[in-house]
Amino acid sequence: MNGILPLWKEKGMTSHDCVFKLRKILHTKKVGHTGTLDPEVEGVLPICIGRATKVASYITDAGKEYIAKVSIGRSTETEDAQGATVSRDDSDKVISREQLLEELQQLTGEITQIPPMYSAVKVNGRRLYEYARKGIEVERPAKQVYIEEIELLDEASVFSGKDVSFSIRVRCGKGTYIRTLAVQIGELFGYPAHMESLVRTVSGNFTQNDCKTLAEVAQLMEERQVDSILRPVEDVLTEFPRLEIDPDLLESIRNGQVLPAVQLLQEHVSVILTYNGQVLAIYKNHPTKIGLMKPEKMLLSNE
């Protein structure tokens, strides 16, 4: 079994839980997810099966879209609604729509984020949440992330009260913490804030409409129809140019050999090599040998 299964991860499960359950449902061990979603977050989680596990990193690196509810007035240890309260501001707040749109615009583009203590980022070989659970505060490395767009979904002209909440749609690049973005929105107004809820609606080329729940996958497996929802590896490689190779190169590519660079690599970082329409490998310019190219990823199936 090979392909990408667009899964709708439900609340209460980790991404690893989904992989564990799918291995049982699909009767195969070669199953991998494409990026961690917190247990309380639901949404699109593409699952790679068989040789598709080789392209998991391309889905992980692709853009994402989320719908988040931001709550201003309280900050938490985990930056989401599940964490213990760190600080609270019970003053009456009045934020106009124009003010909010202006601040959201400030957080669009390339911005700096500091990962939450309760996150899977590694520092000195250990994940931050391991330190956090032991009450150890460590210095966290700031990183640059890219926010393509933040759309305010609420139509109110004024947001007011001791606790102010609103929903936003965020299109962003790899590594963006929406929890941290919620905190940053609050900071721009001078208030504590957290992310109240989060749904991932898009991951790479996969949308909410593409997805099936674990129960639906199990039903399709029972009916021997699960292949109907598996997407081919090619669906995550649409950004790369393709080149159909001559038959005399087939064996060399099978063996992952270094080859003379093709012309497409003068304009593109990587190129997909195909034979009879089947994806064999992704090649890139050799880092040290000018005029040559080397395999970035071998995708030829021997099954």
pLDDT digits (tens, 9 = 90+) for 129-158: 788 888 887 888 899 999 999 999 999 999
Give, in words, the CATH class of 3-61+204-235.
alpha beta
* Same fold flag, 3-61+204-235 and 64-203: yes
pLDDT for residue 125: 80
pLDDT for residue 303: 45
Confirm whether 227 is a catalytic residue: no
3-class SS at 37?
Answer: coil
Burial of 203 (0-12, 13-18, 19+ CB in 10 A): buried
The DSSP output letter for 169 is E
Least confident piece of the model among 53-62, 96-105, 282-291? 53-62
The mean pLDDT of 69-78, rounded to a whole number, is 95
Query: What would be the CATH architecture of the domain defined by 64-203?
Result: 2-Layer Sandwich (3.30)
CATH of 240-298, one of 3.30.70.20, 2.30.130.10, 1.10.620.20, 3.60.15.10: 2.30.130.10
What percentage of the chain carries pLDDT values higher than 70? 99
Annotated active-site residue in 38, 80, 210, 235: 38
pTM of the predicted protein model = 0.88
Instruction: Give the contacts of 265 (CB within 8 A, at least 6 positions apart).
Output: 271, 283, 284, 285, 293
Mean pLDDT (the chain) is 92
Burial of 231 (0-12, 13-18, 19+ CB in 10 A): middle
Strands of the sheet with 292-298, listed across from one edge: 242-244, 270-275, 278-285, 292-298, 259-260
Query: Hey, where are the domains in the chain?
Result: 3-61+204-235, 64-203, 240-298
pLDDT category of residue 301 using cuts at 50, 70 and 90: low
3-class SS at 66?
Answer: strand
| Residue-wise pLDDT tens digits, 183-231 | 999 999 999 999 999 999 999 999 999 999 999 999 999 999 999 999 9
